[in-house]
Each structure stands twice: as C-alpha cells, then as structure tokens.
Structure 1
Amino acid sequence: MNRRLLIACASAATVAAATACTSPSPDPTIETIPWVPVSAQLAAFDSCDDALEGIQDAAIAAFSQWEFDELARNGGEEFAVEDSGATSAEAPAQAAGDDAFSGTNNAVAGVDEPDIVKTDGTFIYSVVDYDKLRAVDVRTGEVTAEHDLGDDAWNHQLFLGDDELLLMSGLGIERGDEWVNEFRLERLDTASLEVLDTFTMEGSMVDARLVDGEVRLAIGSQPLIQPVWDTLYTGEADESDIAEAVRDTELEDWLPSFEVNGEAHEVDCAEVAHPERFTGASVSVLALPADGGWTEAAPQTVMVDGETVHGTTDSLYLAHYDYAWGDDEAKAESEIYRFVFDDGQARLAGEAAVPGSLLNQYSLSEFDGHLRVATTEDPTGGGCGPWIDCLWGGEPSEDAEPSKSTVTVFAVGEDSLQETGSVTDLGVDEQIYAVRFIGDTGYVVTFRQTDPLYTIDLSDPANPVVTGELKITGYSGYLHPVGPDRLLGVGQEATAEGQTTGLQVSLFDTAAAEAAVLDQYYREGADSAVQYDPHAFLYWEDASIAALPVSDWDMEYQSGVLVLDIGADTLTEAAWIDHSAADVDPYNTQILRTVVIGDQLWTLSNAGLQSNDLGGDYAQTAWIGW
C-alpha cells in the first residue's frame, strides 16, 4: 500500500485553490479563495506556460492551509491517506442451455467491468494468489497456461474480449529519487498468455470499462514534487519557502507521462481541464481498442482526484468528492464529469455538482436520457459510511444540521448535464448504505439504527417522489433484482440500537408503491464480501439461485459460499460450499468468486478452483489446486 501525496488530500483541511490564470506576484504567498459551492464548471489552459502557472498557483494556495510545524513533526503522517488497490439492472448472462455460463456481476448490461476472474465457458482465467495469471480448461481441469505477474505489481484485474485477454496491474517504479505508481495494461494471447501489446501511464487505475470492443480507462495520477516535500519536512519552512519550491517545478512534474508499446508520450496541454478549485492531482480518461495494434493514445486529463466511475454504453461518468473543513461547519459536494467516446477519443460532454458524497458507482444511473445521482450530506464533513470512518474522526456539533440524503436528476444533453429535479431529506440523521436504480424506480437504503428502504418514483424527471419507506432492523449493503417485482438485499441484521449481529439476506416484493419483506435468511456472526464488493455476488436466473461468499465467526472461523434458492416469496439455504479440504492456511481458502458453466458451479479461492454439481446435493466434482 502506498501513501497518497498530501496535496491530494488538501481540501480536507479547508483548501480552496486560487484560479488557474492569476499571475505570480513578487510575494509568493497566495490568498486562498473561500469555499464556493457548485464548482464543477471546467476551464481549459490556453498554453503549456499557462498550465504550469495555473497548477503552481493552485498548489501554493493548497499548501497555504497547512500547519507546517505540525506537518514537519509528524512527517506528514497526520494527513496521509493510503491508496487502496482499487464497482443497470442485471449482470450479463449468456444464453440459457447446457453451454450457458455466467459473467461478471456488472452494474449495466453490455458494459463489462474489470474483475479477478473471467470465463468464456471453456476456460477460466484468474488472478487470485498474487503472483500468477492462470488459464484453466474446465473440460479437463488442467492449467493450460500461466503468466508471471511479478513481485512489484498489485491490484490485478482482467477483461476478456472476443479473442483477447486484457490484464491491468499497478506497479511501483523507482524514478530518480522518487517511487512512482504506474498503471499497466497488457493485451495477452488467450492461449499462451504471451504479451502482445502494452500501455503504461504514471498513476493508478481508478476504474475501467469494456464496451463494444473498446477499453475505456480512468487513471488517477499524483504530482512528482519530491523537492517540495523535502522543503516541507525540514521543520523550518514557511509559506514563502514552500511557494518558492513549488515555483521551481516543471510541467512534467504535474502531468502524467505514458508509453504505448514502449514509445513515450506526454499529455497534451490543450487536453487538460480544471475546475475552479484543484490541488494538483489529476485523472486521465482514454480509450484503446481491445483487439490491440496500439500505436497512440489521446488522454483527456482533468485536474481532480476522482474516486468513482460509472459506465454506460455511451458514457463514462467520473465523480470527484470535494470538501472543505471550516471553523463552523463542513461543506462538501461531488462533482460529476461525463465523457463520451468519438472514434476512440474521449471527450468531455457535460459536468454537474451534487450535494454531499456518493457511496459507490451504484449511486449513479443513466436511464431514458437522464442521470440519477444519490448522495449523502453529512455534518462531519462526509466520507462516512458502513465501511468508512468519518473523516478526521469528526463529530457534528450540537447545533449542526443532521445528515440527510438526496436523489438528484439531470437531463443528459449532447454536451451538458442539466438538473431537472430532486428529492431530499431521505434518512435524516442516517447514511446511504445501498442504492439500486431499476428503470424509472430508485431504491435507497439508509441506516443508523433501522433500515428504511425508500422507493422513489423517477418517472417524472422534474418531480421525483418518495412512494414508500419500509423500516426493518438491520440494513442492506447491496441490492439486486431477482425477477419481476423482486429485489434481494444482502447486508446485516442489527439490534434496535443499531448493533449488527450477523448476515441478513432479504427478499422484497417491489410490486407496490412501497416495498414489502417476503422472507429473510439470517446467519449469526457472519458477513459477506458482497456488502462492499458486488463482483462477489452471483445471481443465476436459470436455476433461481444466488451465491455469495460468507465468512462466519460465530463459533470458530469458517468461510465458504452460501447458495440460496429464491422462490416466489421464499429464501432457502440450498448448499454451503467451501474449500476446507485444501491442505493450506484456512484464510487462503476464503472463496472470492462463483461462476456457473453449464451444469457446474465453480468457486475460486487463493487455494484453487473447485466445481460442484449445480442443483441436487451440490456434490463436489473437481478440485484444481495451485
């Protein structure tokens, strides 16, 4: 895990950067601009000189907010955040029949998402035990090819096209005095797993999508300004010293470089856009043909630190969380940028801002010419959720406004996002834990002590309306449609005080204006990765089953896959499948993914692959250990 540069977090300490085109004064200290909401309107730099000056101005404004003595004493650790190795109705299932097989659990049909396992129904390709990419022939149970991932790479993800396998990885590269994160995309031969094409770029993958033979990438990059950090950590630097060090930087220190099959390239200054406030981090969006033959790339770079990506067949949405920390109250918004792709070229085609923060990509949905966005405003400054502590451990003051959630609707124009309506005050004093948009209906789960499942009618984009508020104990962390008027929720049961007690899977009837609970499955002391990783979830309509990995600490640690039969109004445990027979560390047998191929249910762990009969007694039929 690598630390993110401090400047990428500067807005958390009440940063507001100066406008990009101010000219430097003899005094290098720059006055900061107060928090200005709705900052998503982008501008472009006029030239490379203008870009360097504007970026330096913004960085100096950001650094002016720091307590330099305190930073020097702590070596910056107080404000350091670790990089995480980095989620509309159903996953794409192949045609039913004996040769049917499941795909990745994607948010949008026809838009594939990167994952650690892919299959074409004959071969299973996986990257699970950190050092090997493997191809397994399910007909023979043999590992037919391996590809060494290397010791310096991490966060391996896969795409599988018609005739190509695409491997994405993060790497640590030493360049001079700095250790640089690098993103690498390789196109591999599906039979031999030999590398055919390579693209690399300074930074880390935010997310990616595969649509109609085109790989769409969002890559986040941090500036390479070690001399600035060296000045900062002397313990004797003031704002003037830091400003002088920033002025000594060059444009290549701020903008990422990239290589296409070994040929070096730089980001075009004319393709760099920036909001009113920014700190020096950037995200580059680009597309490459999945079938290879790469000779060039044309990144569209935005000076933001984007975290969330949502893809459709036509668009790629990038959400950037921007927040300021004031003496009186926290302020936050999420800026949303829409990209479209013309002949393989990424182009900015609209921007907007919404109050608060997004939970994940399921907080975004495009339907019938409109974008719907679900967010939570939090008095502690946002960033709180089921798996994230509130930023800085903050607590709202007694007179602070309570948290609340909002669904905002935008009309998607050719080059614009225009707000048409919104509905707010959902889950007052609570946080969003799950969102699912299905057609012109939205489902939002908020939680603090109980779980209101809100049903929202979005058929009139100018007037979204809450039609139902179902309250049950516990919460759902992931929602998935499982047939007409049926919704499955995976989450946790909880006491009346909000204390979680174990895995809870709920089957909801959504036929009426307000959802109703039909049945629930409960497993004390257990939880599922599905709550924070939807790719771990499998719904197989042909057999009407759901499979989810479960870890259980009730009596002693055990892990496996829970298979649930989904009836018209019932949930029944059909099987528990584990890899406990493997003679390895039990934590390596934690099942990460489940795949259906024909009449077999394949489960994948760091220890190997196992197949079980689909249906009946789910008897084990094969084991392939690594």
Structure 2
Amino acid sequence: MKAKLLIALAGAASLAAAGCTSQQGDVDRVVDTVPWVPASAQLATYGGCDDALEGIQDAALAMMAEWQRGEYFASGFAEDDVAREEGDMAAASDAGGASGQSADAYSQTNNQVAGVDEPDIVKTDGTFVYSVVQNTLRAVDTRSGEVAAERAFDEMSWSHELFLGDGGLFAMYTQDVEADDLYYSEFRLDRLDPATLDVLDTFTMEGSMVDARMVGGELRFAVSSQPLIQPVYDVLYAGAGDAADLEAALRDTTLDDWVPSYSVNGEAGEVDCADIAHPDRFSGSAVTVFGLPTSGGWEDVAPHTVMADGETVHGTADSLYLAHYDYGWGEDEPEAETEIYRFHFTGGEPLLAGEATVPGSLLNQYSLSEYDGHLRVATTENQAMWGWWGGCGPAADCAWGGEVAPEDSKSTVTVFAVGEDSLTETGSVTDLGVTEQIYAVRFIGDTAYIVTFRQTDPLYTVDLSDPANPVVTGELKITGYSAYLHPVGNGRLLGVGQEATEDGVTTGLQVSLFDTAADEAAVLDQYLRPNASSAVEWDPHAFLYWQDASVAVLPVTDWGEDYSNYTAGVLVLAVGTDALEEAAWIEQEVADPYAEGVVRALVVGGQLWSLSSAGLQANELGGDYGQTAWIGF
C-alpha cells in the first residue's frame, strides 16, 4: 500500500527554511515555500504535460520546505530517521429521501438525496439480495432461501461496496498490489452478471475510492491516489543521501509517477494533461473524478484529476461535490478550511463548475446540501484539529490531560448560490455551539437541523429560506446527543445517538422523536437502551425507516451493565405521531455474536431481513416478528 509519501519525505529532507534551489540543465530555479493562506480553493490548469510535471515537482518541494521551516519534523538522513519513517508508513498501512422507500415493496439503501443512489454492502431488486461480507459476494434468492451464486474476492482486497442497476451488479473495492517491487493500492470496479456473478467489464485505477454515486444509467466516482515516485524512494531508503540528492531524485520523476493510471478491461489509459487541475498549494496527492455508463462500453472514459486530497462527497442529480480539508500550522494554533469543488456531469464527463472555501471542517456528507439553486454547508472550526491532536470524544477530561474540545470552537452554516460555473457566497450564520462540535446535520427543504455537543445537546433550527440571511430560530437543549437525523413525516424528525450525563459522559443508546413543526424543535418521546450503541451513529446506511409500517430499524450492540453480557441484534421501533415504542428485538441464531453482529436490515416481500457475516435471517414484518427463514453463510 502506498503511504502518504510526501509526509515521510518532509521528515527526511533537510531543506532550506526559505526555499529550495534546483538545477534543470543549465537553468537555476528557486522554489519558494508556499505559506498556508485561506481561500486556496481556486484551481488552475497546466499549459501542457511538461508544465504539469514541473508544477507538481515545484509544489512538492515547496511543501517539504514549508514543513521543514516549521520544524514539525526532524531533519537529516540518519538511518534511525529512515527506519522511523518506514515504521510510521507501515502503521498508516437532499432532498430528504425517505430511506429508499419503494412502491415495489422492498427497501433500498438509505440515501441522502432521493434518486441518487449510494454504494453499500447490500442491495436488493425485490427478489435477490446481494451482499458482500468477509470478502465474499453472495446472491441469495429470497423465494427459495438459497445462495444462488457466490464469488470470493482476493484476501488482499478490502472496502467492498455494491451498486445494482439496469446494466448489472457493480462491485467496487480496493486491491493491494505488488508489481515490479512496488506496493500500492488499486481501485477496482467490476460489472457483474447478477445471475452468475461473472465479470462482464473491469475498470482499474491507482488509488482507492473516496465515494461514488449512481444516477439513472451513470456511475460517478471520486478516487484518491498517492504518488508512486520510485526515484525518491530509492534515495530515501538508501539512508546515505542528503537534501540535494532527494531533490535531484524528485526531479527525475515523470508525470506518470504523480498522476494515476487506469485501465478498461486490461487496456491502459491515461489522464489527459489538459484535465489536470491544481489549487495554489498541494502536496502531491490527487483525486480523480469520472463517470461510467452502467451499460458498459467504458473505453471512452474521460477522467479529470485535481492535485488535492478529498475526503467527502455529496452527490445530486447532475453534480458531484468534492470537499477537501486543508490546514496549516501558525505560531500559536492551527488554521483550517474546507475547499469545495463542484463537478457538473454532462454526457458522462465531469466538468469543473465552481469552487469555494468555508472555515473549519465537515462532519460528513450530510454537512453538504444543494437545494433550490443553493449549496448549504455546515462546518465546525477547530473540530478536526482537536480530534486528531489530543481530543478524546464526548467524555470528561482525557486520561493524558487533553480537553474535551477547544474553548474557541464554533460552528457555521454558509450558503452559496450555484451558478453555471461558480459558487458564490450569499450569506452565513455562525457561533452555533460555541466550545462544542457538530455531531449531526440534516438539511430538509429550506431548514437545517444541527446538533452540537460537549456536555449537553443543542438541536439548532436554522431558517435558510432567505439565502442571504440565514437565521437561527431555535435551540433545544437536552442531555446526550443525536449522531444521525432522519425525517419521519411532516414535522417529525428522528435522532439516533447517545444519552449522556450532565457532565457529558455517554450512558447508552438514545433515540429521540422531535416535533419540528414550530421554529424551535421539541422532544416528543425518547427510547433509551443503557450500555448500548448502534452502527447508525457513524454509518447512516445501517438505518432503515419503513414508512408503510412506520418502523425504524437499527442494528444494535448491547454490552450489558458490566460489559459481560454482550448481545447484538436488530431493534425495531414503532414510530408514532407523538411516541416511540419498542416493537421487537431480533437476534440471529449465531455461534459467536461478538464476531457476527447484524450490520444491515432490509425489507423484501413483506418480511424483515437482517444481514450479518454469519448469514441472512428473515422475520415477519409486524405481529410478533417471528423468524421465517435462515440462510447461513
């Protein structure tokens, strides 16, 4: 697997504080450091392939010089330093859709935006259930209760997810590759025959998937990759070079070493130099955006690469938003912003159609929402830096003395007008949850619901009907917090998270039913399960709301009062107009619940199916929820 090499290089390189001087032929060029500045999202393209290579190399050298100047990494090329870096790299080795409700009486993935499908570990067409657990893909016929087809993935593959469309079943995953003494990760997409799971088409690209969406007959991807720069590896791992040797090795790299390659059914392709964009400052990482038809015929793919990292994707009917968190260290504290790039898809090709920056960092994809010609973004300043550098979550002080959250943290909602090729800020509202961080966000129409938490849970209601003047209309304070919010009818919102003491110490699963009809939300009812948690808190795809029966279904892990009575199962909650009630607790008949907890629930043919690594189980949907089938894996 390729580590983030440039970070390691910064630790090894002894570069000048003000910049690096290099020679190419008889020409001397000085590469200045690029200090961290806000609003660095504006992208530019290169004049050609030679210009692209030179610009990428310059940016890499400038970034290393900046790190060295800040003295955040040790300098020198001592053998101990090289060994330490090797060890570090090895360790690193809305439209408010109603949970995929369908008129065909089977559930779909819990998608953020109606009509925009998201990848998941399980998909169904109402007859077959396709799932991938423990590196094995299976097609289960729900009529016969048998595994109709099975396909095992390589043991060195991971992060398997699925799409199901008219053109077949699509399996996406990352494969660890060894080639010519190089080790790296490769994103793979297989188009499969749903009946046999035979491979029909294969697309590969260096890197791993950030996220993907399927809209109509089109698949849209964002793939992150790291540079594969063997000349630099050779100098770094030799342990006898100096900064000049390292810089010379970096100048020996080619554009292919920096920009990911790809292939379609074994035929190699490459990103056009005209389709490589870059911000003012970057480290060498890249994100590539591209579209593929679900029907196959992928030879005409046109990937577009941005020389930046990317962590969060938000998809709409015609756009893919890519968000990248960027930070720089000042003398006293870190500075941070999130860069947002909008790609508009036309005829399967992504075109850059707007850029923007917002202060702080996103929680997840639900922090972004496009509605009525505007993009709304919720961020917390200092959230990510606190989390990475000493934070310890929503409990009391850390054992090592760190604080729960920085005193100056705060959250902001920023609104942008979405133009044909621009994102223009129209308004914002800030100072939400001062000293706290965002735990959940849900945009529903022209209203935002935002949960911040440190010791208590304010649920903010933000009126976004005037994009130039967002207004906080309500601040409901309760103990605990919601980590996921889901609409469950007009004026009703369900929150899944944790109850907590007045001091912010979590005590167990909490599901809250909120009345959101007024300007400020109100609690109608709460369900509490002490010493328990749900995967929904960090993975919204684990949530199922089946509107026909007015039930919410959550995989739950219950640790018991003294962590000695572990149980895992499916919690079914009846969601009334003003109340929540436990309708069923379903456990699978498995030998080891510690290893085989339920990961998903879905509705097929009037039955509630639950998926674990041990198998698929069917229960009646309603009544006593009795078991009707078991298909062991």
Instruction: With the length of structure 2 as denominator, give the TM-score of the two structures.
Output: 0.91
Alignment deviations for residues 27-81 of structure 1 (CA, whole Å, 9 cap, x no partner): 7773312221100100001011111101001111122224234843522545887
Which residue does the alignment assign to 1:620?
627
Per-residue CA deviation, residues 286-323 of structure 1 (Å, 9 max, x unaligned), is 00000112223110100011000010001100001110
The one-letter code matched in structure 1 to 2:546 is W
CA displacement at 1:8 relative to structure 2: 6.3
Q: 3-state DSSP class of the match of 1:591?
A: coil
Which whole-Å CA distance do the structure 2 matches of 1:624 and 1:33 have between them?
58
Contact 1:141-1:622 within 8 A present in 2 as well: yes
Aligned counterpart, 1:129: 134
Q: Aligned residue for 1:334?
A: 338
Distance 2:9 2:240 in 1: 20
User: What is residue 587 of structure 1 aligned with on the other side?
Assistant: 594
Give the conservation status (yes or no) of the 8 Å contact 1:282–1:305: yes
- State how far apart, in whole Å, the 2-side matches of 1:134 and 1:621 are: 20
2:581 pairs with one of 541, 555, 572: 572
Query: Which among 459, 463, 471 is matched to residue 457 of structure 1?
Result: 463
Structure 2: which amino acid aligns with 1:571? L
**Letter of the structure 1 residue corresponding to residue 31 of structure 2:** I
Aligned residues: 610
Selected match of 2:543 from 537, 547, 562: 537
Partner of 1:478: 484
Helix, strand or coil at the partner of 1:295: helix
User: What's the offset of the Cα at 1:261?
Assistant: 1.3
Letter in 1 for 2:6: I
- Note if contact 2:98-2:487 (Cα within 8 Å) is conserved in structure 1: no
Q: Distance in 2 between matches of 1:326 and 1:82?
A: 25
Q: Does 1:140 align with 2:139?
A: no
CA RMSD of aligned residues (A): 2.8
Q: CA deviation at 1:598?
A: 2.6
Contact in 2 for aligned 1:153/1:171 (Cα 8 Å): yes
Q: Which residue of 2 is the match for residue 210 of structure 1? A: 214
Counterparts in 2 of 1:17-96, with a 5 A limit? 30-64=31-65, 65-66=67-68, 67-69=74-76, 71-72=81-82, 74-77=84-87, 82=92, 88-91=95-98, 93-96=100-103
Q: 1: distance between equivalents of 2:570 and 2:125?
A: 22
Q: Residue deviations 1:106-130, cap 9 Å, x none?
A: 0000000000000010000000122
Deviation at 1:23, TM superposition (A): 9.3
Contact 2:404 2:454 in 1 (8 A): no
Moved more, 176-185 or 30-39: 30-39
Give the 3 Å change call, closer, same or farther, for CA 387–578 of structure 1 in structure 2: farther
The one-letter amino acid of 2:631's match is I
Partners of 1:318 and 1:122 in 2: CA distance: 35
Is the 2:116–2:213 contact (alpha carbons within 8 Å) kept by the matching residues of 1?
A: yes
Q: What is the CA–CA distance in structure 1 between the aligned matches of 2:85 and 2:488, rounded to whole Å?
A: 51
**Shift in Å, 1:447:** 0.6
Aligned mates of 1:380, 1:593 — CA distance in 2 = 29
Query: How far apart in 2 are the matches of 1:499 and 1:338?
Result: 39
Residue 115, structure 1, aligned to residue 83, structure 2: no
CA drift at 1:228 = 1.7
Matched, 1:178 2:179: no
Deviation per CA, 1:565-597, whole angstroms, max 9, x where unpaired? Answer: 011111111111111x22x33223200000011
Evaluate the alpha carbon distance shift between residue 451 and residue 270 of structure 1 in structure 2; reply closer, same or farther with a 3 A threshold.
Answer: same
Once the two structures are superposed, residues 227-276 of structure 1 have per-residue CA deviations (whole angstroms, 9 ceiling, x without a partner) of: 32343345554433322221111111000100011110111111000000
Residue 158 of structure 2 corresponds to 154
SS at match of 1:165: strand
Change (3 A) 1:10 1:616: farther
CA change 1:225–1:10 in 2 (3 A) is: closer
2:446 is aligned with 1:446: no
397 and 618 in structure 1: CA distance in 2 versus 1, 3 angstrom threshold: closer
- State the match for 2:417 in structure 1: 411
SS in structure 1 of the partner of residue 231 of structure 2: helix
Structure 1: runs of 5+ lacking an equivalent: none
* Corresponding position of 2:316: 312
1:550-579 C-alpha deviation (Å, 9 max, x unpaired): 111124111111100011111111111111
Cα deviation for residue 90 of structure 1 reads 2.0
Match of 1:300 in 2: 304
| Equivalent in the alignment of 2:499 | 493
Cα deviation, 1:421-465, whole Å, max 9, x if unaligned, reads 000011111111100000000011111111111000000000000
Report SS of the residue matched to 1:589.
Answer: coil
Residue 554 of structure 2 corresponds to 548
Which amino acid in structure 2 is aligned with residue 240 of structure 1? A
Q: Give the conservation status (yes or no) of the 8 Å contact 2:2–2:228.
A: no
**Cα gap change, 1:332 to 1:528, in 2 (>3 Å):** same
Query: CA-to-partner distance for each residue in 1:73-97, whole Å, 9 max, x for gaps?
Result: 52254588736xxx9312454544x
Q: CA deviation at 1:545?
A: 0.4
Find 2:325's aligned residue among 308, 321, 326.
Answer: 321
1:281 aligns with 2:291: no
Q: Partner amino acid for 2:276? A: V
* 1:190 Cα offset (Å): 1.1
Contact 2:313–2:322 (8 Å) recurs in 1: yes
Are the counterparts in 1 of residues 2 and 185 from structure 2 also a CA contact under 8 Å?
no
> In structure 2, what residue type is equivalent to 1:5?
K
**Residue correspondence of structure 1 range 266-277 to structure 2 within 5 A:** 266-277=270-281
Q: Is the 8 A contact 2:170 2:191 kept in 1?
A: yes
Distance in 2 (alpha carbons) for counterparts of 1:18 and 1:516 = 57
Note closer, same or farther for the CA distance 1:40–1:80 as it changes in structure 2 (3 Å cut): farther
Which of 266, 269, 291 in structure 1 is aligned with 2:295? 291
SS at match of 1:445: strand
Using a 3 Å threshold, how does the CA distance of structure 1 residues 380 and 594 change in structure 2: closer, same or farther?
closer
**Correspondent of 1:600 among 591, 607, 617:** 607
Question: Equivalents in 2 of 1:408, 1:343: separation in Å?
Answer: 31
* Distance (Å, rounded) in 2 between the aligned partners of 1:405 and 1:76: 38
